[in-house]
């Protein structure tokens, strides 16, 4: 594998504090997919240099060699965790993007080094290799770990439980196998991340492929059978340590954002909806003595609506659920961003006290009923969804599609996809004045920034 | 320098090299200090790391000493040369072998074990073999008790040098310099180390009397 000849890869930073001083990104990578599965999904390069003439526009694109992959999340081969003292490999290069197809279970590996604007497909991990070696399918989240590439998967090859985590060798891209040695009671999977300073991994729960691929199933939802727990693991020993149940009414416990500072043992997780009142919520988990606990810290209520304005799935409820689908935490652990995909709201909270968040900013874009416009657009559909934050915390990148089969249920008229850049004010607050707003043919999903961003890297030094 | 002294100087220099190398221990000590926000945690990590390193070295010292008891010096050199060249070639292919299953919150015993495995995977002890063979006691036949004294002295001198350098580096980085230096000063020595292993194997072979 490619290594630097002299110094460590200059995009690696020992601590989140040092990473926040990194140069400002000029390129962003974004995956897009075709919900009709007729044209290949793509890895798109965006020019995000405000001084450039093509600011905010697509300047490169590489197509998948197949159709119907459903690109979703993706991640780097190595990142700042390569500097961790117990498994250091500082001279590997951050140059490969691993892009899973959430439907096809393939993982494509693109090399961005020869031409950062036009990445090149160099390797494909087929679904069969993941099934044979790890017993999993539907790869979702990718995190570059200290000793390998970690990938979460929604289920087994039959689309049932268990979902879990598997590891890919960062030298050879071979699937090494299932990560869990003892999974305890854990069955459902979705996101995962860690507190490297506490040798602790956290996993969250959505549903199995069979529970989500045909769309959200109202029977499963009303029975409270989508995920409602998080799991705490011993990271090096690969063993389940603790299960925390948020309660059956808190359905779909998704994005995990642990504090970036490895000396802190708390983090935030978003819950899509509460069966009682369709509200969404943010919870803070924290270490208390030797066990983890969790506390609800933010409630985002549903908004009453005329049933005529609602899709069939929601008519009976006479309300729009906020549907918090993604959250993101700045590298200084100070600001938390929250996407409410249903109501079309993007929120900013001051979480310097993680138990007492203060709402500091909000903008509306799209939304099931509101259809709010950007200053440079007409009415929008879809809503703020995947959010990526720059390392200096000054810019948030947003896209508006969730997941093909769920997009159709909540936005039956179809989603006209966009990506936008929103500026964060230094003392809190959001601004749509600068930035960009760009529309795309295919549905837009996760964005990652050149050199790293607020969800790509983890750190071993405080 | 007299020919009797160079092996001792080499032992000290190799110890200092391992002490400076972030991957061999001082970085782990600093990480634990930062995590606990305590310089005592930095200092407390040094001895377990040194003990693990010493254990890895002693394995090689014992192997060389025992081999020297049963085969003539030339064959000891030949064997050492073969092992060094083979290991150097292996490190060319897999430069980044590090032990798995460790996290940042290892206790003193875990830290010792990590250091032992890390030093062994690095070939830290192997690199000492040609130096040991330069010591007078190994050059011609001596009894195991005669060898043991010098072997222990050799390994201890090496580790003492490592401990001293590692201690100074970790405290200076923790107190003054900060970890930003990792980005500028952590040179890629993997390739160089492989060639040094192979070269010292060759030297060991061709200087065989």
What pLDDT digit, counting tens, does each position of B71-93 carry? Answer: 888 888 899 999 999 999 998 88
Please report, for chain B, the start and end positions of each structural domain, with discontinuous segments joined by +.
6-206
Report DSSP letters for B117-170, one per residue. HHHHHHTTTGGGHHHHTTSHHHHS---HHHHHHHHHHHHHHHHHHHHHHHHHHH
Q: Which residues, numbered 36 to 65 in chain B, qualify as contacts with chain A under a Cβ-Cβ cut-off of 8 Å?
A: 37
CB pairs under 8 A between A and B: 95
B141 touches chain A (CB under 8 A): no
B93 touches chain A (CB under 8 A): no
Q: Which of B104, B177, B184 to mutate to test the interface with A (most CBs of A within 10 A)?
A: B104
**Chain A: nearest CA to B193, how far in angstroms?**
13
Q: Which residues of A touch B177 (CB under 8 A)?
A: none
Is omega for the bond preceding A162 within 30 degrees of 0, making it cis? yes
CA A453/CA A432 separation, integer angstroms: 20
pLDDT for the residue B72: 85
pLDDT for the residue B141: 66
Tell whether the model's pLDDT for residue A17 goes beyond 60: yes
CA B41/CA A253 separation, integer angstroms: 37
- Of B135, B162, B133, give the one whose Cα is nearest residue B53: B162
* Residue predicted with more confidence, B122 or A175: A175
pLDDT for the residue B146: 79
Residue from the list B94, B96, B183 with its beta carbon closest to the beta carbon of A12: B183
ipTM score assigned to the predicted complex: 0.91
* Residue predicted with more confidence, A118 or B197: A118
Q: Percent of chain B at pLDDT above 90?
A: 49
**Chain A: nearest CA to B139, how far in angstroms?**
38
CA B103/CA A255 separation, integer angstroms: 24
Closest CA in chain A for residue B117? A86
Tell whether the model's pLDDT for residue A354 goes beyond 80: yes
* Structure tokens belonging to residue A420: 């936008």
Q: Which of B179, B184, B192 to mutate to test the interface with A (most CBs of A within 10 A)?
A: B179
3-state secondary structure chain A: CCECCCCCCCCCCCCHHHHCCCCCCCEEEEEEECCCCCCCCEEEEEECCCCCCCCCCEEEEEECCCCCCCECCCEECCCHHHHCHHHCCCCECCCEEEEEECCCCCEEEEECCCCCCCCEEEEEECHHHHHHHHCCEEEEEEEEECCEEEEEEEECCCCCCCCEEEEECCCCCCEEEECCCECCCCCCCCCEEEEHHHCEEEECECCCHHHHCCCCCHHHHHCCCCCCEEEEEECCCCEEEEEEECCCCEEEEEEEEECCCCCCCEEEEEEEEECCCCCEEEEEEEEECCEEEEEEEEEECCEECCHHHCCHHHHCCCEECCCEEEEEECCCCCEEEEEECCCCEEEEEECCCCCCCEEEEEEECECCCCCECCCCCCCCCCCCCCEEECCCCCEEEEECCCCHHHHHHHCCCCCCEEEEEEEECCCCCEECCCCCEEEECCEEEEEEECCCCCCCCCCCCC
Maximum separation of any 2 CA atoms in chain A, in Å: 64
Q: Which of A4, A14, A94, A150 to mutate to test the interface with B (most CBs of B within 10 A)?
A: A14
pLDDT for the residue B3: 67
pLDDT for the residue A236: 96
What average pLDDT does the structure give for chain A?
A: 97
CA A201/CA A189 separation, integer angstroms: 13
The tens-digit pLDDT sequence of chain B (209 residues) is 456 788 899 999 999 999 999 988 899 999 999 999 999 999 999 999 999 999 999 888 888 888 888 888 888 889 999 999 999 999 888 877 777 889 999 999 999 999 999 999 988 888 888 888 887 777 666 777 778 888 888 889 999 999 999 999 999 999 999 999 999 989 888 888 888 899 888 888 776 54
pLDDT for the residue B75: 87
Q: Which residues of A touch B41 (CB under 8 A)?
A: none
Closest CA in chain B for residue A262? B35
**Chain A: nearest CA to B47, how far in angstroms?**
16
Report residue B12: phi and psi, to 5°: -70, -45
With CB atoms and an 8 Å threshold, state whether A90 touches B186: yes
CB A368 within 8 A of CB A384: no
Closest CA in chain A for residue B25? A85
With CB atoms and an 8 Å threshold, state whether B179 touches A87: no
Tell whether the model's pLDDT for residue A157 goes beyond 60: yes
pLDDT for the residue B209: 47
CB A430 within 8 A of CB A166: no
For A285-336, the pLDDT digits (tens) are 999 999 999 999 999 999 999 999 999 999 999 999 999 999 999 999 999 9
pLDDT for the residue B125: 87
Is B86 in a helix, a strand, or coil?
helix
CB atoms within 10 A of CB A291: 10
Torsion, Cα A216 A217 A223 A229, to 10 degrees, reads -30
* Residue predicted with more confidence, A120 or B6: A120
pLDDT for the residue A28: 98
Residue from the list B23, B34, B101 with its beta carbon closest to the beta carbon of A461: B34
Up-side HSE of residue B147: CA atoms within 13 Å toward CB?
Answer: 20
pLDDT for the residue B208: 52
Is B208 in a helix, a strand, or coil?
coil
Which residues lie below 8 Å from residue A161, measured CB to CB, with a gap of 6+? A155, A187, A188, A208
Is B16 in a helix, a strand, or coil?
helix
Please report, for chain A, the start and end positions of each structural domain, with discontinuous segments joined by +.
16-449
pLDDT confidence tier of residue A52, bands split at 50, 70 and 90: very high
Name the residue with tokens 């290799």. A129
CATH superfamily assigned to domain A16-449: YVTN repeat-like/Quinoprotein amine dehydrogenase (2.130.10.10)
pLDDT for the residue A51: 95
Closest CA in chain A for residue B191? A5
CB atoms within 10 A of CB A420: 25
CA A203/CA A240 separation, integer angstroms: 10
Report residue B89: phi and psi, to 5°: -65, -40
Q: Which residues of A touch B91 (CB under 8 A)?
A: none
Which residues face A303 on adjacent strands? A320
CA A157/CA A159 separation, integer angstroms: 5
For A75-117, the pLDDT digits (tens) are 999 999 999 999 999 999 999 999 999 999 999 999 999 999 9
Which residues lie below 8 Å from residue B36, measured CB to CB, with a gap of 6+? none
Q: Counting Cβ atoms within 10 Å, is residue A396 exposed (0-12), middle (13-18) or buried (19+)? A: buried
**What average pLDDT does the segment A25-30 reach?**
98
B179 touches chain A (CB under 8 A): yes
pLDDT confidence tier of residue A434, bands split at 50, 70 and 90: confident
């Amino acid at each position: 594998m490619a290594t630097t000849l002299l110094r460590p890869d200059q995009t690696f930073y020992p601590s989140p504090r040092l990473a926040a001083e990194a140069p400002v990104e000029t390129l962003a990578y974004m995956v897009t997919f075709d919900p009709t599965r007729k044209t290949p999904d793509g890895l798109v390069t965006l020019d995000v240099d405000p001084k450039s003439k093509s600011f905010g526009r697509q300047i490169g694109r590489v197509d998948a060699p197949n159709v119907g992959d459903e690109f979703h999340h993706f991640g780097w081969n190595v990142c700042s965790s390569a500097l961790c003292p117990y498994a250091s490999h500082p001279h590997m290069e951050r140059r490969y993007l691993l892009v899973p197809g959430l439907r096809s279970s393939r993982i494509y590996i693109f090399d961005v080094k020869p031409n950062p604007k036009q990445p090149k497909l160099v390797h494909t991990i087929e679904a069969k290799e993941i099934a044979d070696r790890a017993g999993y399918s539907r790869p979702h989240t990718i995190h570059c770990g200290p000793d390998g590439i970690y990938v979460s998967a929604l289920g087994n090859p039959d689309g049932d439980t268990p979902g879990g985590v598997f590891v890919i060798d960062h030298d050879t891209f071979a699937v090494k196998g299932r990560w869990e040695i003892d999974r305890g009671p854990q069955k459902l999977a979705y996101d995962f991340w860690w507190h490297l300073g506490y040798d602790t991994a956290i996993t969250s729960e959505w549903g199995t492929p069979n529970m989500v691929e045909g769309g959200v199933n109202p029977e499963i939802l009303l029975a409270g059978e989508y995920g409602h727990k998080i799991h705490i693991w011993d990271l090096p020993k690969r063993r389940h340590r603790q299960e925390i149940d948020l309660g059956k009414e808190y359905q779909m416990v998704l994005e995990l954002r642990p504090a970036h500072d490895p000396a802190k043992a708390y983090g935030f997780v978003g819950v899509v909806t509460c069966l009682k009142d369709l509200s969404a919520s943010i919870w803070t988990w924290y270490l208390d003595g030797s066990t983890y606990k969790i506390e609800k810290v933010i409630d985002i209520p549903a908004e009453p609506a005329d049933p005529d304005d609602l899709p069939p799935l929601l008519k009976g409820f006479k309300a729009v659920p906020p549907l918090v689908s993604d959250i993101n935490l700045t590298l200084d652990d100070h600001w938390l961003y929250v996407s409410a995909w249903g109501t079309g709201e993007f929120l900013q909270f001051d979480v310097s006290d993680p138990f007492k968040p203060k709402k500091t900013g909000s903008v509306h874009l799209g939304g099931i009923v509101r259809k709010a416009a950007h200053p440079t657009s007409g009415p929008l559909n879809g809503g703020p969804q995947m959010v990526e934050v720059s390392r200096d915390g000054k810019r948030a990148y947003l896209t508006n599609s969730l997941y093909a089969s769920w997009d159709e249920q909540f936005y039956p008229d179809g989603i006209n996809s966009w990506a936008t850049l929103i500026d964060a004010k230094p003392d809190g607050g959001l601004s749509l004045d600068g930035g960009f707003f760009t529309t795309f043919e295919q549905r837009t999903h996760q964005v990652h920034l050149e050199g790293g961003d607020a969800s790509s890297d983890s750190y071993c030094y405080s | 320098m007299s020919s009797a002294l160079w092996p001792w100087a080499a032992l000290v220099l190799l110890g200092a090299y391992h002490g400076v190398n972030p991957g061999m221990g001082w970085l782990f000590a600093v990480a634990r200090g930062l995590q606990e926000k305590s310089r005592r945690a930095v200092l407390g990590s040094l001895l377990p790391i040194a003990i693990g390193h010493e254990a890895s070295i002693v394995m090689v010292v014992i192997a060389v000493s025992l081999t020297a008891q049963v085969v003539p010096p030339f064959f000891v050199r030949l064997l050492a040369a073969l092992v060094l060249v083979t290991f150097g070639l292996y490190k060319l292919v897999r430069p980044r072998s590090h032990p798995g299953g460790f996290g940042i919150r290892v206790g003193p015993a875990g830290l010792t074990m990590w250091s032992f495995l890390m030093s062994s995977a690095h070939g830290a002890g192997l690199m000492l073999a040609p130096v040991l063979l330069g010591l007078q006691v190994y050059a011609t036949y001596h009894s195991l008790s005669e060898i043991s004294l010098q072997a222990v002295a050799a390994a201890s001198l090496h580790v003492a040098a490592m401990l001293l350098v590692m201690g100074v580096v970790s405290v200076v980085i923790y107190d003054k310099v900060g970890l930003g230096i990792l980005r500028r000063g952590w040179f890629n020595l993997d390739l160089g180390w492989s060639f040094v292993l192979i070269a010292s194997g060759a030297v060991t072979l061709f200087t065989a009397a």
